[in-house]
Structure 1
Amino acid sequence: MQTISTLILLVLFTTLSFGQEEETGHSITVSIDNITSNEGHVLLGLHTKDTFMKGKGIQTLKSKIEDGKVKVTFKNVTPGDYAIMALHDKNDNERMDFDSNGMPQEPYGMSNNPMSFGPPQFHLAQFKVTDEDLKLAIRF
């Protein structure tokens, strides 16, 4: 009987220890407050140089828009160089839509808010995560 009790306690403690997530990095809180409508969602991707402009980032978030604003947090980000891309997905098709001439139909933005013509570039949107949490504002 004591063996069964010990086994039950062991299983219970093991289960509880796996239920708690250990934070291994920092958080990046992103706010966007100039969204022209509440339709659709905002899609955000946290990218490294290797993932930038090549699909999903290392973390992705989707946020509902309230009063033309969103605020999201990427969690457990390890130190390094990153860039964030954000898209106002007005029609909720989870991708950027383009005109026939290749121009984006939906608003988008990046960390550092670079003003550039042509495709986005990592070095313009790049920021560094070191030993503290960050707060960033992105404009569309």
Structure 2
Amino acid sequence: MKLIVALLATTMLFISNQITAQTKTITATVINVSSDSGKVGFALYNKTNFRLKPIKATSSKIVDGKSIVEFKNVEAGEYAIICYHDKNDNNKMDFQSNGMPLEDYGASNNVMNFGPPKFEDAKFAVEDKNVSLEIRF
């Protein structure tokens, strides 16, 4: 009986390690936040859900103009990150009545045109290594 339990435990540990080895971590850092007030909200998307419901979302405090998050257990594929400076801590991006943003925002790859970010401009690949990105507002 002890042998069976030991074999099952070893098998479960092996499967768990294999699953973890196949997923990666994305570290995103906003490097130029204008103040340390509020927080930075980050959202991870794929092409299908871009600018809709994120795959993962989190926020991070700001220290010396930088905000860092990690998205863990990300499978291989193409992704994009959009982030914004939630200056007033209300958990949403604020806009003027004409639709212009009141709070700073950015996207992976730092391509900022007029209008909202586009997936093709912001996409990056997660393959066989962890990914580190620097994002600018």
TM-score w.r.t. length of structure 1: 0.81
Q: How many residues align?
A: 125
* Residue number in structure 2 paired with 1:47: 45
Q: Aligned-residue CA RMSD in angstroms?
A: 1.9
Partner SS for 1:46: strand
Q: Which residue, 37, 61, 65 being the options, matches 1:64?
A: 61
Q: Could you tell me whether the CA contact under 8 Å between 2:27 and 2:71 is conserved in 1?
A: yes
Q: CA deviation at 1:52?
A: 1.0
The amino acid that maps onto 2:94 is D
Q: Which runs of 5+ in 2 are unaligned?
A: none
Distance 1:43 1:65 in 2: 10
Distance 1:115 1:62 in 2: 21
Q: Structure 1 runs of 4+ off > 4 angstroms?
A: none
Q: Which residue, 122, 133, 137 being the options, matches 1:136?
A: 133
* Residue number in structure 2 paired with 1:111: 108
Q: Percent of aligned pairs with the same residue?
A: 47
The amino acid that maps onto 2:95 is F
Q: Which has the larger radius of gyration?
A: 1
Matches within 5 A, 1:18-57: 23=20, 24-55=22-53, 57=54
